[in-house]
Structures are given as structure tokens and as C-alpha cells.
Structure 1
Amino acid sequence: MNILIVEDEQDIRELLQLHLIKEGYNVYEAEDGIEAIKIFENNKIDLILLDIMLPKLDGFKVLNKIREKSEVPVIFLTARLGEGDKILGLGLGADDYIVKPFNTIEVIARVQALLRRTYKYGVSHKNEIINGELKIDKDSCAIYKNDIPLDLNAKEYKILEMFMDNIGKVHTKKQIYENVWGDPYYEDDNTIMVHISHIRDKIESNPKDPKYLKTIRGIGYKMEKIEYES
């Protein structure tokens, strides 16, 4: 499994990485909040160890952005002792909260326990979503139509994954661009339109009259909920 350590103190990152690798985990590292989000969006991450006091984007904001699209387990690692911080973190969707200085063995034990609970007792079913003839399998980063895999590039997959995660929700072009490209949006309509057009060519029976990926004029796009027709 892949674990992302988000921590601006290098010695703590290296200590955690050493112990996690010994336990057989693959480890990604980020030293600020912006880097953490980019790593998360471009890799399959199974659990995040997340500091609160981070450069560029604090841990609360990082968690909030992640929870917009994922239920990946998150453990806060922080020197902040306030009860209000703990309540806020758990309220935003953190799964556990460990205060520094911590015992590394305890951290590893909590990581293992949370991974067992998450992926043995039912959260993993969220990694597969079905809408009409379409199915996304997040574990393998594959999307199928009538059980036939679609040939998508990385950006097309991420756009379609975002829509499948939020069926019926309208996404603005700004939201799509900043979520998928990870950069500020400067009215670059053409880039998004080209990618949407390519996706429609692959998922729609009639791309000129789409039933899945609808245009909401003046706003953006949404994935329509489709009942499967046999």
C-alpha cells in the first residue's frame, strides 16, 4: 500500500519513512500542503500522515480539499494540543489524531489498524462506481463501458473520475481545471473543451447528443445519473 507523509520537518519525515518501508509500505513525501495535493492527485494513495502546521497550505485546508473527492484515511500528526484543533480536524474528516512528540512504533501500529479497518471492513467498495454502462475501478485506475476498458489518457481519466465521484453535481470549468491540472485557472476554455470532447467520443453512443456528460450552459458540466438499460 502507498502512504503519503506530509511533514515539513525532514528528520520526522525520514524517521517515519524508514519505519514504514521496513513494514513493507511504499512511501511518498511532501514538505508543504501544495506539494501534498499534487502528489495525492497524481498517485494512488491509501493513507495519509498529515501535519497541521505546513508551509503554503495548512493541514486543515489540505484535508478539506482531499475530502472533496476522496475518503482516503488520514491521520493528523501535530504539535498543536488544543482540543478545538482536534475537534476541527476530526470534523473535517480526519480518522485519527496523534500529538507530537510521538512514539514511532505507536504511529505504525495506528497506521496498520486504520488500514485494516478501512480496506477489510467495507470502505474499499467505494473504489468502484457504476453509472449506466460506465464503471470506474479506482484500484486499477480503469474505466469501462459495458465491461470493455476505455483507452483514456491521464487527464481524461482524472476528469471522468471527478464526474463519476460526483454524479449529478455541476462542475465549473475553473473547478475542473484546478482539480485536474493543479494550476490556477486563467479562462483556458479550449483546453477543457478539447478534453471533454475526447471523453465524449469514448463514452457516448452519440457524442453530439451526450447522455452522460452534459453541458450546463454558462456554468460548466455534469455527469448525468443513468439507469442501466439492458
Structure 2
Amino acid sequence: MFEIMIVEDDAIIANLIAENLHKWQLTASLPTDFDTIFDQILTSQPHLILLDINLPVYDGFYWCRKIRKVSKVPIIFISSRSTNMDMVMAMNMGGDDFVNKPFSMEVLIAKIKALLRRTYNYVDRNIDVIEHNGLMINLQSGGAQVGETTIDLSKNEYKLLQFLIRHHGQIVSREMLLRTLWDDERFVDDNTLTVNINRLRKKIERTGLGDYIQTKIGQGYIIP
């Protein structure tokens, strides 16, 4: 399991990043004592660091310089300071990448995974199981189970369930699900999605998990 340390003093941003990392089976640590960042890094030995520039006590440049004296751990700067000089300084201090705020979470996660691959030969498919609220999906076999009960899924049911679990806690629109399941949703009957969702719900309910996929009228679906 890879640990990502998020050195960010905005708790809302830090927690949002952590939630998204967990969806990709990555561990997140969130320091709150910004006087001892360096000591915390030495203790926890994270695989990658997300580092804001504007921090209490000392800025991100200071911590990056200290880290680089003892470690080659990958560092991605995340900051609203996006002048050319800030970016140049971040790279000169030893940063590996720079992401401007506000940023796309999908882009940030993609950059993190790319840097992990380059540094540790990290391969997403090595993570072959994801789990949420008692339901587990096997990413290799395309099946799912609750406890000892196996759920046989069709190809579309598997894609639906995996996508919804990866985005658990978020409302996913019908349009997004149609684009996920079919290359060109313009030629798909909207009722087809409803049929797939209902079949998937029934299969999950037979295992004893009720109301696992919830409908938000006029918005889409959510797995809480």
C-alpha cells in the first residue's frame, strides 16, 4: 500500500484529496503540526508528498529543500501561486511536478499515479480488489461478493458497480454512467441504463445489502 503525505493547511482541500486517494486504494496521511513536518516525514517515510507552498511557520520551498538533503521521495507541489518564478523555484528545489489550484481532482490523481509508476514500478492492476460497505469487487475476475455470497455480474453491471463504488459519496449523473458504459451514448436507449441498474440492485439485495445504490431524482445515482 502506497502512502501519500498531504502537506496542506486547508483542511477541506486536504480531506478531499485524501478521500479521492482512498478510492484508488492509496493511503493518505495529513499532518496537522506544521512545525514538525520534516520529523513526521522521517518517521512515516511516505512514498510521495503533496506539498503546498503557502504553509504556516515555513513555506513549502523550505521543507522541500530540507527533504532533498536526505531523501529522493517524489514531491508534487500544489499551490495557488502559479507564476513562472514559483514553478521554476519548485523544480529547482527538487520538486517533481507542479499542480495549480484550483485543480481537477482527476488530473491530480493521474499525476500521482504516473509519478508512482515512474518511481516504484507501481501498476494499478496489481490492486485487484476494491471494497466498500461490505461489498467487494474482484478487478481480475469481474465478480463481486458480500461475505461468502458471490454475485455474478454481467459486463455492464460490473462496470456500473465499479464506477459507482469508486465515486461513492458522490452523485453520479445518468449521462456520466451512459458515457462510462457505452462509447456513444447517443445510440443507447436511456431505459437500458435503468434496466441495468435495477438488475444490479436486485443482485445486491439478495445478499442482504438493501438500498446499496440509491436514486437521487433528477440527479442520478449514489452509493453512500
Which of the five TM-score ranges fits, normalised by the shorter chain? 0.5 to 0.7
Question: Match for 1:92: what amino acid?
Answer: M
Q: Secondary structure at the match of 2:14?
A: helix
Q: Secondary structure at the match of 1:34?
A: coil
Between the aligned partners of 2:32 and 2:13, the Cα distance in structure 1 is 11
CA separation of 1:25 and 1:46: change in aligned 2, threshold 3 A: same
Match for residue 10 of structure 1?
11
Question: Match for 1:87: what amino acid?
Answer: V
Residue pair 1:8, 1:32 contacting (<8 A) in 2 also: no
Match for residue 19 of structure 1?
20
Between the aligned partners of 1:32 and 1:98, the Cα distance in structure 2 is 23
Between the aligned partners of 1:114 and 1:14, the Cα distance in structure 2 is 21
Deviations 1:72-107 (A, max 9, x none): 000000000211111011001100000000011110
Match for residue 63 of structure 2?
62
Residue pair 1:9, 1:31 contacting (<8 A) in 2 also: no
Between the aligned partners of 2:81 and 2:33, the Cα distance in structure 1 is 17
Matches within 5 A, 1:1-230: 1-31=2-32, 33-120=34-121
Q: Which has the larger radius of gyration?
A: 2
Residue pair 1:31, 1:54 contacting (<8 A) in 2 also: no
Between the aligned partners of 2:92 and 2:83, the Cα distance in structure 1 is 14
TM-score, length basis structure 2: 0.52
User: RMSD over aligned Cα, in angstroms?
Assistant: 1.4
CA separation of 1:32 and 1:85: change in aligned 2, threshold 3 A: farther
Q: Secondary structure at the match of 2:9?
A: coil
The count of aligned residue pairs is 121
- Give the ranges of 4+ consecutive aligned residues of structure 1 lying more than 4 Å apart after TM superposition: none
Q: State, as a whole percentage, how many aligned pairs show the same letter.
A: 39
CA separation of 1:31 and 1:52: change in aligned 2, threshold 3 A: farther
Residue 32 of structure 1, CA deviation: 5.5
Where structure 1 has 5 or more consecutive residues not aligned to the other structure, the ranges are: 122-230
